[in-house]
Structure 1
């Protein structure tokens, strides 16, 4: 009998965990909603271009969000879609916006774009094109929920020596995103703040390996900040 006791205790513990209430789903995650993520390589992260469910979302913050909430709330039948493409600027998004955004008819659209624009292109062009993308998406679906993420980085890798100049460009583009989020009633994900806070807990290289692309740990920081922002912007109704 004494040999069965550890097994019984383990089974009881597992049952208690299974019976525990999961973290509530964000209010923005209504049943059967399509949640579309758009952006560059930070969002893409080697996503599959086919229908293989093991690879279709890549291995970015998108995968982490979709895996957690898809598993916790199967009854909602949430449809997470990743259309990030490595190297994209706002002009690249504009070229594929109809096919990769409007035609997909998202209920919630999350955009993270700007780090590649920081290499070329003016701030005015960035703002004008970005604003048009969001305006067109809202025209296609007036009930669309919008999430805009700030472009971000940390002074490591190739960006360390020229960080002041690089970050100045990112800062100006972050200001544009803040402006557009306010103008269009979008939730604003402050990724830079999240990474700055993370860098107080561990070296910058722990979170972002080349100044631009997060490590798997950094993608968890992004996923946590995205969910926190979405929860705060669309709070669940009080019981």
Structure 2
């Protein structure tokens, strides 16, 4: 688990591409101070596993699914990336709960200055916008940010000078792709509110018989189901 507080900006040294995968070698310092093989490091918000490391770099495998879901496939040698180690149990919770499992990507459509702040407008598909709410949390390239405004197909965040200086957001321009992770609390709530889709044919007993009254129909709880179960 991560918190969305970027520890340092790393640099892509090499990318070895397979048929549908890649191996990244990333130059870094801070995140390597207490690193071990198998540790998790978020790279632009994507949780990757350290497969090897030296004093000033580490490697990580990126599988096909990750390339499809994220912007990691657009990286090139020399690209800068946001880095964060997995959170320690006794660490400060500076951002919000971040899993490092990217939901999808968005596209920056507008960047404008507002005194000491910078506003970013990001367009993203409806399936991601569903979980984006004003004043809620969103992870952009691994950065924990607050949604300032939201619309039908886009949302806005406003960042302070410190965030601009310590992350790669300041390097972004219109048309650039960013990784997005929705607030996991909202995703779990939405899932739990869906009608039950389990074993609708009933529970199997040891003799192979089933109890068809054990579960509501897949369409939801019905009056018949409530009566059968004593309500």
Assess same fold via TM > 0.5: no
Greater helix fraction, Structure 1 or Structure 2: 1
Give the structure-2-normalised TM-score: 0.26
Higher gyration radius (CA): 2
Give the structure-1-normalised TM-score: 0.25
Greater strand fraction, Structure 1 or Structure 2: 2
